[in-house]
Chains A and B, each alone.
Chain A
Amino acid sequence: DSGVTQTPKHLITATGQRVTLRCSPRSGDLSVYWYQQSLDQGLQFLIQYYNGEERAKGNILERFSAQQFPDLHSELNLSSLELGDSALYFCASSVRPTGGQETQYFGPGTRLLVL
């Protein structure tokens, strides 16, 4: 158990809908990262937050957005869902970004299926 929790574990929805994925980082971790794992794209970085502020963006679609709240939990919002958004979404956390050496600890993921 990494200490990172994600809810829900599974999510099934229809095209055009909007969903929210939730992540609680390890106790004491200030930085949260979101990754998408799909069969065709592999594991891709989406976005990073540090202590409530956006730190970096990766291959995140404009239909997707995220935020980190004062209690440090984070939510990833996916809207106007398409079939191709079906994937496993991981959240990871680390204490703080320092020179790239920080270990990121991953949650169990949320499996999203868009029908």
Chain B
Amino acid sequence: GDSVTQMEGPVTLSEEAFLTINCTYTATGYPSLFWYVQYPGEGLQLLLKATKADDKGSNKGFEATYRKETTSFHLEKGSVQVSDSAVYFCALSEWGQTGANNLFFGTGTRLTVIP
């Protein structure tokens, strides 16, 4: 079945450091891949997405490239800020036989950025 394996946290970085959060997936077909972010006390917000191989999703300085050959979708940011402190979730969605397209989430990675 479909699944997402995400780098375990927590991750603590100094401001302006480089961020990588690893994400690999298992899927039977050709999923769409997503990164969602959850700020303290809030719901999930879509950060970026990619719907086919070699697509690069980007938003707010974050980037992730859909790598079919390595089944990966690693999240990167060149220079993190304190305001990036949050929990990041990698997720996939695949068209199912019933027409369902629910999201499968990784376990989440908590990022703390210190000044």
Contact = CB atoms under 8 A, between A and B. Distances in A.
Contact of B31 (A43, A55, A100, A109): A100
Contacts of B106: 42
Interface residues on A, range: 20 to 34
B103 to A, nearest CB: 6
Given A2-B43, A109-B43, A102 B101 contact: yes
B99 A97 contact: yes
Contacts of A42: 105-108
A64 interface: no
B100 A103 contact: no
B43 A58 contact: no
Interface residues of B, number: 27
A56 B100 contact: yes
Interface stretch (B9-17, B44-52, B61-69, B70-78): B44-52
B96 A56 contact: yes
Contact of B102 (A2, A58, A90): A58
Contacts, number: 70
B56 to A, nearest CB: 16
B104 A100 contact: no
A106 B45 contact: yes
B43 A100 contact: no
A103 B49 contact: yes
A42 B38 CA distance: 13
Interface string A25-41: 00000000101000000
B22 interface: no
Q: Which 5 A-B pairs have the closest CB atoms?
A: A56-B100, A43-B105, A106-B44, A45-B102, A100-B95
Given A45-B103, A100-B94, A103-B46, 15 more contacts: A33-B103, A42-B105, A42-B106, A55-B98, A90-B43, A92-B103, A97-B95, A97-B99, A98-B101, A99-B101, A103-B34, A103-B49, A104-B46, A106-B43, A109-B43
